[in-house]
Structure 1
Amino acid sequence: MQVHNDTVLACVDGSGLMNAVCDYAAWISRRFGAPFGLMHSIDHHPETTMELELSGTIGFDSREQLLEDMVRQDEQRNKLNFQQSQLIMQAARRRAHRAGIDEPLLYQRHGGLLESLADVENYLRVLVVGARGKNHEDQPHKIGAKLESIIRSLHKPILVVNDTFTVPRSFMIAYDGGSAAEKALDMVIGSPLYQGMICHLVCVNEDIQALEWLEAAANKLKQTQGIKLISQRLRGNPEQALVDYQAKFDIDLTVMGAFSHTRVHDLLLGSFTLAMLTRSHKPLLLLR
């Protein structure tokens, strides 16, 4: 099925975060009035297939029998993977219905998740993913193995979900005066997603120039109707200061500009992202 333009796409995998991913994607879809889609990628993990050098080790008949057995095992594995994917999509569809989506669009793909997303990237409005997949859901202080590659590769807004759904009433813009932060600011100003919410514009910087950045950014945001603005400059370690501020004011969503391709790897491996994704327990919206 062809992905519709401006789709809000939820990546589902049967993990413990799947319901929250569906709920946040449904909320965004309704706020935008945009199509809602569910995607599950059936990765057959070809790298795990048994690889044997059979020539010269066993007899011809035995070798043929072993090859036939391996083919049957692959076919059975693929059939089970497809059945599991069907069950995941059915559960996600039911969750979408509960979240107010009458007709979710279903996209079941074969192959790796990153490749599947690359194929549909141009049609996306927002991508919603869990911070951890099924293989890491019992490790709350880690992020999923595929998440870094997704953020590094895609050029669309990505909402990373790390806990159960709460209707966002407030959001925090992590602002540093850089070009990525300015782009994020512009996207907030032009979006209906944040209407009626409290915006905390927060800059963690002890430089006196940060006051000028913050004032200029606040003046831009004040032009946006429907947002109540609170601006704040903080001192100290950036990631800790932001996490503490978010917890103190019970902020529902953090918004920030993703770095360029040359810096996003450092972003994902650095303590800042780990702190925001694993300690805040609130979703992180990366704007590109």
Structure 2
Amino acid sequence: MAKILGLIDGSQYTASVLDNIAFAAKRLRAEVELIHAIGRRDIGSAPSDMSGSLDLGEREELLKELAAHDEQHARLARKRGRLVLSDAAAKLAADGVETVSHDLVLGDLLEEIERRETGCDLVVLGKRGDAANFAKLHLGSNLERVMRRTSVPVLIAARAFRPIERVLVAYDGGPSISKALDWLRVSPLLKGTRIEVAKATGKSSDAELDRVCKTLKAEGFDARAKLLTGDPDDAVVAECEREAIDLVIVGASGHSSLRRFLVGSTTSEIVRACRRPVLLFR
């Protein structure tokens, strides 16, 4: 049975993450495991070095107060996490997802993902976390790390979910996007969608792109090739708006004219600027 690992934090992106998980779980007939991670740095309040401003008695009293504060903070964080998970599991069940488990973990999120991703077919998380309203031009720190390290496909949810009917493949000829195309041809996730295979190039035609579309058509996809102009990231984002694209597929590393198509440059820029979910392959 296929498996989806969903990462939720109770932020404004959580509803969209769950909608994307429900869509994928029903298409893949997958079980879902939800994780809410509480980072150790989120529940600690170690004092700065105040040895020169406090006497021994004052310092001991402050440490006791901080310890009590941390204990209360940790207790509330765990309570909130359990509520986030139970509400999320109930929503997925209401949306028709048959098998849902959930786990509250204390520690590093990436370590948990790496420990659980064996046998996992897809990881789903939001573009940003709890600070979404205050960091609209930045990606979440956890997302950046997941993009660089996770070996399975990663579906990055946008703020709002929309039914996935039109898909853009940001083609660059590199190994990551080739892996994505191999996956696309055999996975039931996006069967029946319209596929646009787009490439940023100054050429008026591209035989390789035509071959890719021909292969997709042979697998039953309504596929077409599209040559874009300009920087790859700007061109892809603009094409998504122009053609009402619902999902973008990108690779984490590029090839030839897109050598800078590495996580941290073009890929991150597409994820950051595009108002659509992004399916990332390494």
Fold similarity call, TM over 0.5:
yes
How far does residue 223 in structure 1 lie from its aligned partner after superposition? 2.1
Equivalent position SS for 1:105: strand
1:13 aligns with 2:44: no
How far does residue 141 in structure 1 lie from its aligned partner after superposition? 2.4
1:49 aligns with 2:43: no
Asked whether the equivalents of residues 33 and 101 of structure 2 are also in contact (C-alpha less than 8 Å), the reply is: yes
How far does residue 268 in structure 1 lie from its aligned partner after superposition? 4.0
CA RMSD, 1 decimal: 2.6
Equivalent position SS for 1:172: strand
Aligned residues with identical type, % of pairs: 25
Give me the whole-angstrom Cα distance separating, in 2, the residues matched to 1:237 and 1:121.
34
Q: Which of 102, 123, 126 is 1:127 aligned to?
A: 123
Give me the whole-angstrom Cα distance separating, in 1, the residues matched to 2:53 and 2:249.
60
Alignment-derived partner of residue 146 in structure 1: 142
Alignment-derived partner of residue 219 in structure 1: 214
Give me the whole-angstrom Cα distance separating, in 2, the residues matched to 1:238 and 1:265.
10
Deviations 1:159-205 (A, max 9, x none): 11112111101111111112222111111111111111111111111
How far does residue 42 in structure 1 lie from its aligned partner after superposition? 1.3
Q: Which shifted more, 129-138 or 234-243?
A: 234-243
How high is the TM-score relative to the length of structure 1?
0.86
Asked whether the equivalents of residues 9 and 128 of structure 1 are also in contact (C-alpha less than 8 Å), the reply is: yes
Q: Which amino acid aligns with 1:270?
A: S
Asked whether the equivalents of residues 44 and 81 of structure 1 are also in contact (C-alpha less than 8 Å), the reply is: no
Q: Which shifted more, 71-80 or 42-51?
A: 42-51
Q: Which amino acid aligns with 1:255?
A: I
Give me the whole-angstrom Cα distance separating, in 1, the residues matched to 2:64 and 2:106.
23
Equivalent position SS for 1:267: coil
How far does residue 52 in structure 1 lie from its aligned partner after superposition? 4.6
1:87 aligns with 2:79: no
Give me the whole-angstrom Cα distance separating, in 2, the residues matched to 1:56 and 1:18.
44
Consecutive aligned runs of 4 or more in structure 1 exceeding 6 Å deviation: 263-266
Give me the whole-angstrom Cα distance separating, in 1, the residues matched to 2:215 and 2:260.
30
How high is the TM-score relative to the length of structure 2?
0.88
The count of aligned residue pairs is 278
How far does residue 55 in structure 1 lie from its aligned partner after superposition? 10
How far does residue 85 in structure 1 lie from its aligned partner after superposition? 0.7
Give me the whole-angstrom Cα distance separating, in 2, the residues matched to 1:265 and 1:235.
16
Asked whether the equivalents of residues 127 and 158 of structure 1 are also in contact (C-alpha less than 8 Å), the reply is: yes
